[in-house]
C-alpha cells in the first residue's frame, strides 16, 4: 500500500470505539496505515523518516503511543529488540542532552542502570545494538517539536538519524518520526538534511467538537448532553478540560469568554482607574502629534486607514514614560484637589498597574527586570480603550472620574 501525502478520505469501515482512544473513520485509516508503516520498518529492516503534522493538541502523540503499544502487544518478542525513544525539540535539541535522555529511557525500558559514556549518538546506538548480539535492534525515534531541532545548524542528531536511511546498517534500523505543529517544517532543515528526508508525511486534523464531546462523556460514563461552544482556541485537551470542569461544577458558564483581555471589574481603585484614563489621554495626544507630523510630510495617503484604526478602539503600540503621565496628573489635580497625592504614592499605584498587566514595561536587553521604575522607562498600554470605555460608562464611579473621561473625549 502506498503512502500518500494526504490521509485518504473516509472509505474504510470504522472500527469499534476503543475505550482509551477516540477513533473515527479518518483516525482509523491513519492508524491502519501507520501501523503497517511501522511493521514494515521492523519486518523489512528498513530505516525510514516520516513526518506527522497537525494543529497543537489534535492527538498526534497519543495516536503514535497507541500504535506503539499495539505493535508491542502483537509480538512480545519485540520487547527486547524494539526501542522507542521520545525526544522533544524544546529540551533535547543538543546532542549531549539527547544522549542522556536516550540512555535514561533505555534504562527504563530495559529496567537496567547502564551508564554508557558516549559523546556521539551513532556510537550509542551501535553500543546498544551490539548488546543484542545476533538479534537486530529496531530503533524508533519520535522527535516532538521537530522544527526546534532544525533551528540548529549542523544538528548532529538529525544527521545521524537521517543518514541511517542510506547507511544500510545490518545490526539496527532507525525509524525517525518527526512530529510538528507546522506543516511547512520540512522546508526548515538545511539542504543536506532536506535531501535525506523521505518526503513521506501525514497531516492530521482534529475531530469535530461534538464527536469528541460525546466520546469523552461516554468515557466517563455520563449520560448528560453537553454543548461546548465553538471557540477558536478549542483543542482536544481544552475540550476535555472544559467537560471535566463542567462535570465537577455544573454552575460554570460554558460560554464564558476564555480569553478576557483584562479584568477591570473587581480590580481597580479609583486612583488606578484615573491613571489609566490619563495614560489613554497621553497616548492619544502622542498619536495625534505623530499623525500630524506624518500628514505634514506625506499627504492624505494614510488618512482612511487611520480612521479605521481609531474606530476599532485598538490601542496603537505607542510608548510613553511615567513622567508624561505624572505631568497629566499634575494638571488634573491643580483643578481637582480630591485626587491629589504625593508623587511616590502615584508611582506606587503605577507600579501596581504594571504588576497586574495593564501596562507593560519595555525592558532593555541589559536592564534588570527588577529595576525600579524611573522616569525614563518606556511603557506601552495593554488594555483596549473600548473595554475601558465600556467599564467607565457602565459602572457606578465617582463623578470626577466620569467627568474626566467625558471631557477629554478620549474614549
Residue 394's φ and ψ, nearest 5 degrees, are -90, -25
Q: 22-48 burial by CB neighbour count: b if 16+ within 10 A, else e?
A: bbbebbbbbbebbbebbeebbeeeebb
Kindly write down the DSSP assignment for every residue of 291-342, as one continuous string.
Answer: HHHHHHHS-SSSHHHHHHHHHHTPPP---EEHHHHHHHHHHHHHH-GGG---
Question: Look-up: residue for cell 460514563?
Answer: 221
184, 299, 317, 355: which one binds another protein (CB under 8 A): 355
76, 108, 154, 407: which one binds another protein (CB under 8 A): 108
For residue 52, what are the β-bridge partners?
Answer: 179, 202
**C-alpha–C-alpha distance, residues 213 and 228, integer Å:** 8
User: To 10 degrees, what angle do helices 95-110 and 156-167 make?
Assistant: 60
251, 253, 292, 297: which one binds another protein (CB under 8 A): 251
Whole-number minimum distance, CB 127 to another protein, in Å? 19
Window of 159-167, 192-200, 252-260, 319-327 that interacts with another protein by CB under 8 A:
252-260
> Could you say whether residue 233 binds another protein (CB under 8 A)?
yes
User: To 10 degrees, what angle do helices 156-167 and 121-131 make?
Assistant: 50
Sign of torsion, CA 115 119 125 127?
negative
Q: In what order do the strands lie in the sheet with 201-203?
A: 82-88, 137-144, 172-180, 48-53, 201-203
Give Cβ neighbours of residue 29 (< 8 Å, ≥ 6 apart). 7, 8, 10, 11, 12
269, 312, 330, 374: which one binds another protein (CB under 8 A): 269
| Cβ nearer to another protein, comparing 1 with 344 | 344
Sign of torsion, CA 52 58 64 65?
positive
Binding mask 272-311 for another protein (x = CB under 8 A): ----------------------------------------
Whole-number minimum distance, CB 98 to another protein, in Å? 9
8, 183, 255, 263: which one binds another protein (CB under 8 A): 263
23, 52, 53, 57: which one binds another protein (CB under 8 A): 57
| Cβ nearer to another protein, comparing 29 with 278 | 278
> Could you say whether residue 61 binds another protein (CB under 8 A)?
yes
258, 312, 330, 375: which one binds another protein (CB under 8 A): 258
> Could you say whether residue 105 binds another protein (CB under 8 A)?
yes
CA-CA-CA-CA dihedral for 36, 38, 44, 48, to nearest 10: 120
> Could you say whether residue 134 binds another protein (CB under 8 A)?
no
Residue 361's φ and ψ, nearest 5 degrees, are -90, 145
20, 72, 119, 244: which one binds another protein (CB under 8 A): 244
Q: Which is nearest to 68 in space by CA: 44, 116, 35? A: 35
Whole-number minimum distance, CB 335 to another protein, in Å? 8
> Could you say whether residue 88 binds another protein (CB under 8 A)?
yes
41, 86, 284, 377: which one binds another protein (CB under 8 A): 86
**Residues in the site for another protein, rule: CB under 8 A?**
55-57, 61, 86, 88, 90-92, 97, 100-101, 104-105, 108, 145, 181, 220-221, 233, 235, 237-238, 241, 244-245, 247-249, 251-252, 258-263, 265-267, 269-271, 336-339, 341-342, 344-345, 347-349, 352, 355-357, 369, 382
Amino acid at each position: 500500500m502506498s503512502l500518500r501525502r494526504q490521509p485518504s478520505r473516509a472509505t474504510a469501515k470504522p472500527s469499534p470505539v476503543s475505550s482509551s482512544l477516540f477513533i473515527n473513520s479518518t483516525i482509523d485509516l491513519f492508524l491502519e496505515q501507520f501501523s503497517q508503516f511501522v511493521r514494515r520498518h521492523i519486518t523489512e529492516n528498513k530505516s525510514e523518516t516520516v513526518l506527522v503534522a497537525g494543529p497543537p493538541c489534535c492527538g498526534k502523540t497519543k495516536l503514535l503511543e497507541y500504535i506503539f503499544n499495539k505493535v508491542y502487544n502483537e509480538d512480545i518478542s519485540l520487547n527486547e529488540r524494539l526501542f522507542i525513544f521520545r525526544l522533544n525539540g524544546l529540551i533535547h535539541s543538543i546532542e549531549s542532552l539527547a544522549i542522556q535522555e536516550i540512555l535514561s529511557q533505555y534504562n527504563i525500558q530495559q529496567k537496567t542502570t547502564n551508564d554508557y559514556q558516549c559523546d556521539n549518538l551513532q556510537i550509542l546506538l551501535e553500543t546498544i545494538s551490539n548488546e543484542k548480539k545476533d538479534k537486530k535492534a529496531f530503533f524508533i525515534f519520535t522527535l516532538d517539536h521537530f522544527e526546534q531541532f532544525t533551528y540548529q545548524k549542523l544538528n548532529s542528531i538529525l544527521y545521524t538519524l537521517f543518514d541511517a536511511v542510506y547507511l544500510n546498517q545490518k545490526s539496527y534500523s532507525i525509524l525517525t518520526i518527526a512530529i510538528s505543529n507546522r506543516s511547512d517544517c520540512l522546508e526548515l532543515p538545511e539542504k543536506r538534511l532536506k535531501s535525506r528526508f523521505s518526503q513521506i508525511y501525514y497531516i492530521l486534523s482534529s475531530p469535530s467538537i461534538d464527536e469528541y464531546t460525546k466520546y469523552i462523556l461516554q468515557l466517563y460514563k455520563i449520560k448528560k448532553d453537553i454543548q461546548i461552544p465553538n471557540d477558536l482556541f478549542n483543542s482536544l485537551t481544552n475540550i476535555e478540560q472544559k467537560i471535566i470542569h463542567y462535570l465537577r461544577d455544573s454552575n460554570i458558564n460554558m460560554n464564558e469568554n476564555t480569553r478576557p483581555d483584562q479584568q477591570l471589574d473587581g480590580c481597580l481603585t479609583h486612583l488606578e482607574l484615573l491613571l489609566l484614563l490619563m495614560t489613554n489621554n497621553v497616548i492619544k495626544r502622542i498619536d495625534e502629534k505623530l499623525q500630524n507630523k506624518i500628514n505634514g510630510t506625506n499627504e492624505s495617503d494614510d488618512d482612511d486607514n487611520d480612521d479605521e484604526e481609531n474606530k476599532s478602539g485598538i490601542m496603537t503600540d505607542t510608548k510613553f514614560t511615567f513622567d508624561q503621565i505624572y505631568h497629566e496628573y499634575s494638571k488634573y489635580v491643580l483643578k481637582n484637589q480630591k485626587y491629589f497625592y504625593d508623587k511616590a504614592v502615584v508611582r506606587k499605584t503605577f507600579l501596581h498597574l504594571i504588576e497586574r498587566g495593564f501596562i507593560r514595561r519595555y525592558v532593555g536587553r541589559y536592564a534588570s527586570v527588577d529595576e525600579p521604575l524611573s522616569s525614563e522607562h518606556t511603557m506601552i498600554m495593554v488594555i483596549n480603550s473600548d473595554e475601558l470605555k465600556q467599564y467607565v460608562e457602565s459602572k457606578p464611579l465617582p463623578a470626577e472620574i466620569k467627568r474626566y473621561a467625558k471631557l477629554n473625549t478620549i474614549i
